Chains A and B, each alone.
Chain A
Amino acid sequence: MSTTSDPSDHTPLSSAQRFPTATAAARRDDESAPFFDAAGRGELVVRRCAQCRHLRAPEVRGCPRCYDGAFTWSAVSGRATLVSWAVAHERQPDGETLTKPFALVELEEGPWITAPLVDVAIDTVAAGDALHVRFVRLGGGEAIPSFTREVSPAGD
């Protein structure tokens, strides 16, 4: 028998107060617009330093190697390996729990991306799994990269 108490569960609340939005939609701003434009074309882009050509994650503003800020958006292959993962458990107004697996992946070019993990049985994944990008639109928002596992040549 549990002896815990969780006051946050005992306070009477409206449905809107208790349950966050099921799916947040990605929205562009000026900085991310080229990233979303590429995603809409089915292309994954990261920042390439104009000075030293180091590739860095889309949201990283300055080069970690040479500190320069100038960059170009550069397409990458979409292949990645799994670094880590987790599963958000979001309680819905109807009482159900929506589970949303997501991952931290390492692109084969080096930068890391946080993205939904799709069409994967979460209890079968392991660090180092080969993944590839698939663009999805969640909640009616912009196209964003998600990752799914590579199918073996012989098929599953």
Chain B
Amino acid sequence: MTSAIVGLGVTEVGRVFGRTAPQYAADAVRAAVVDAGLTLDHVDGLLFGNGRSGGLTPLLQRDLGLVNLTLLSEVGAFGASAIAMVQYASLAIEAGMASVVVCAWGDAPLREGTSAGASYQREMLAGFLSVAAAAGVTGANARYALAAQRHMQHYGTTSEQLGAVAVAQRAWAAGNPLAQHRLPITIEDHQASRMIVEPLHLLDCCLVSNGGVAVVVTSTERARDLRRPPAFVWGWAQAHPGTLPERGSRFGLETGAAVAGPAAMRKAGITTSDVDVCEIYDCYSYTVVVTLEDYGFCKKGEGGAFAASGALAPGGSLPTNTGGGQLSSFYLWGMTPLSEAVVQVRGDGGDRQALRHDVVLVSGNGGVLDYHATLVLGREPR
């Protein structure tokens, strides 16, 4: 592996207003380049992804005043996009196509005066999507509820175990000044939080956030000369199972993480016992449970018990979502776990810094467990 993440830019995030998605992305790029100790002159590759509000196009190049790019593209794999961008940046650098690639994200789904739920309201649908909507399946909440319920029925996972994920991540968020929610919660708080789509409570569901995040990727040789400790790219994989709605489907029980996780760790030359910190895409508490199982941190079906054991929380054996994650910190899709991974590898976590941070595993999950990417980052070159 020959690349490293050398710059990180995060704008103000959360219930913040006044910028569009492209503006947040551009702000994040500028911050990331400064963080890397570079200038925009050095950037010759630009990758970007869109969230809920859309709006990012190749015109982002012009917004930034970048000239003479040799790599420019939108990357669209929903929640797997952030890691995919780092993968493609790395491949381009390895191939000599570019030398300094910025991976940018911005989203502005929240409008002032509108609730978080309304920000994700579907437009009027027709056809088969409207059949599902008429049934009450109006978005991701409903589909993940079906997935979580299947996991609960099949493996005995309980709502309280999902709550343990939310409680652990909120405990990490207490140490993160950027987190949208920092006040500690208990399992009782989780159980008392209103039902969104049973079995998922409000505290099982991720936030809705405005803001932008960008990372700068370059070669390991270049990385050594720059301003911040690099996060070296050790391994990666993608897996998109194409799970079909028919007999034999493992929907809700197993995800692409079961393929991409082992593949990425093999590429990195590690096993789960080498991983110090996990940054897991947590659109729902349940997503963390099923992903950690699929990665092999516990036996299949025992993710709930693993969470309930306290392993994921501060002081536990497997620090997970150390900034609070999408549940408590902010939700900018795959950039949330990716940005926290870079913070942890660098040792920049302050009050939330994991003691061991040599190897950090990052997940990206898109659609309804449809699209998956895994990334392994290391504090030293591999």
Say which residue of A84, A100, A106 sits within 8 Å of B136 (CB atoms). A100
Tell me the nearest residue of chain B to A109, going by C-beta: B247
State the CA gap A13–B116 with chains docked (Å). 11
- Could you say which residues of chain A place their CB within 8 Å of the CB of B200? 86
What is the CB-to-nearest-CB distance from A19 to chain B, in angstroms, rounded to a whole number? 9
Interface residues in B123-157 by Cβ distance below 8 A to A read: 124-138, 142, 145-147, 149-150, 153-154
Asked whether B185 lies within 8 Å of A4 as measured between CB atoms, the reply is: yes
B189 close to A (CB within 8 Å): yes
- Could you say which residues of chain A place their CB within 8 Å of the CB of B142? 86, 88, 102
- Could you say which residues of chain B place their CB within 8 Å of the CB of A113? 245
A110 close to B (CB within 8 Å): yes
B300 close to A (CB within 8 Å): no
Q: Size of chain B's interface in residues, with CB distance under 8 A? A: 59
Among the listed stretches A57-65, A68-76, A148-156, which one makes contact with chain B, having 4 or more residues with CB under 8 Å of it? A57-65
B273 close to A (CB within 8 Å): no
Asked whether B118 lies within 8 Å of A20 as measured between CB atoms, the reply is: yes
- Could you say which residues of chain B place their CB within 8 Å of the CB of A115? 131, 135
**Known: A5-B181, A13-B115. Is A106-B133 also a contact (CB below 8 A)?**
no
**Known: A28-B126, A60-B244, A139-B134. Is A17-B153 also a contact (CB below 8 A)?**
no
Asked whether B246 lies within 8 Å of A56 as measured between CB atoms, the reply is: yes
- Could you say which residues of chain A place their CB within 8 Å of the CB of B249? 112
Interface residues in B164-205 by Cβ distance below 8 A to A read: 180-181, 183-186, 188-189, 192-200, 202-203
**Per-position 1/0 for A26-66, Cβ under 8 A of B:** 11110110010000000000000000000011111000100
- Could you say which residues of chain A place their CB within 8 Å of the CB of B134? 23-26, 116, 138-139, 141, 144
**Per-position 1/0 for B353-377, Cβ under 8 A of A:** 0000000000000000000000000
Asked whether B197 lies within 8 Å of A13 as measured between CB atoms, the reply is: no
State the CA gap A116–B135 with chains docked (Å). 5
* Given A102-B137, A106-B246, A122-B198; 18 other pairs, CB 8 A cutoff: A3-B184, A3-B186, A4-B203, A7-B116, A8-B117, A17-B115, A24-B130, A35-B131, A60-B244, A64-B244, A85-B146, A86-B136, A86-B146, A86-B198, A112-B246, A114-B146, A127-B150, A141-B134
Name 10 A/B residue pairs within 8 A (Cβ), A-sorted. A4-B181, A6-B202, A11-B113, A18-B115, A20-B117, A26-B131, A26-B134, A84-B252, A89-B198, A127-B153
Q: Footprint of B on A, CB under 8 Å?
A: 2-9, 11-13, 17-18, 20, 23-29, 31-32, 35, 56-60, 64, 83-90, 99-102, 104, 106, 110-116, 122, 126-127, 138-139, 141, 144, 146
Q: Footprint of A on B, CB under 8 Å?
A: 15, 113-118, 121, 124-138, 142, 145-147, 149-150, 153-154, 180-181, 183-186, 188-189, 192-200, 202-203, 208, 242, 244-247, 249, 251-252
